[in-house]
Chains A and B, each alone.
Chain A
């Protein structure tokens, strides 16, 4: 069975600084997708960034980038130039190539301080 582990329940960062959120996963599959979702307080989860396992290049979306290490089964999220609006719960998620069920980690609560 696939599992997703986020070992940092809470993180904090000062505005304009860089922070990295960790995620590891376990699977025997070779084709899959990885996602980071952001959940601001009392709002819906929104997709931050995604990575397809067969792509070696790390995904980037503006200030958000990932460090995808397939052999190590690691998928960390780096947020550069942190902004107050980045304060949220961040979930790492996994999906097999042939199913669209998402398997989530327990989340990391990120607080950005002024």
Chain B
């Protein structure tokens, strides 16, 4: 079964450093998402992306965050200057688009980001 692949599975970075989280969505999917989960808290929506532009973003997704689909297969989340509170599990997800929203997403296994 097709999968959404996220790399790395765990990344440790120093506060203030830039970090790029990588995702390879399912090849025929058109809609892409990033969510995050701070330890012990809810999974929170960050951003949705379609047709090479952001379609919706949350208030969490401030100027420190950006997303890109640089080569038609990868979908990346960049955090420019990491803060301690950015430590979380980051999930990438994709959706075919031809199907209804009710069919749901396919999620990746997540990248655990630890900012020290």
Contacts and interface: CB of A to CB of B under 8 A. Distances in A.
Interface of A: 33, 35, 37, 42-47, 50, 52, 91, 93, 95, 97, 99-107
B45 A103 contact: yes
Contacts of B105: 47, 102
A45 B106 CA distance: 8
Given A104-B43, A105-B42, A44 B110 contact: yes
Those 5 A-B pairs whose CB atoms lie nearest each other, nearest first:
A104-B43, A47-B104, A45-B107, A44-B109, A44-B107
B55 to A, nearest CB: 9
Contacts of B35: 102, 104
Contacts, number: 52
A37 B109 CA distance: 13
B22 interface: no
B41 interface: yes
Given A44-B109, A45-B91, A100-B95, A35 B44 contact: no
B37 to A, nearest CB: 8
Given A44-B109, A105-B42, A106-B42, A100 B103 contact: no
A103 B43 CA distance: 8
Contacts of B107: 37, 44-46
A5 to B, nearest CB: 10
B102 A101 contact: no
16 contacts: A35-B104, A44-B4, A45-B91, A47-B104, A52-B102, A93-B43, A100-B101, A101-B45, A101-B48, A101-B58, A102-B105, A103-B45, A104-B35, A104-B42, A104-B43, A106-B42
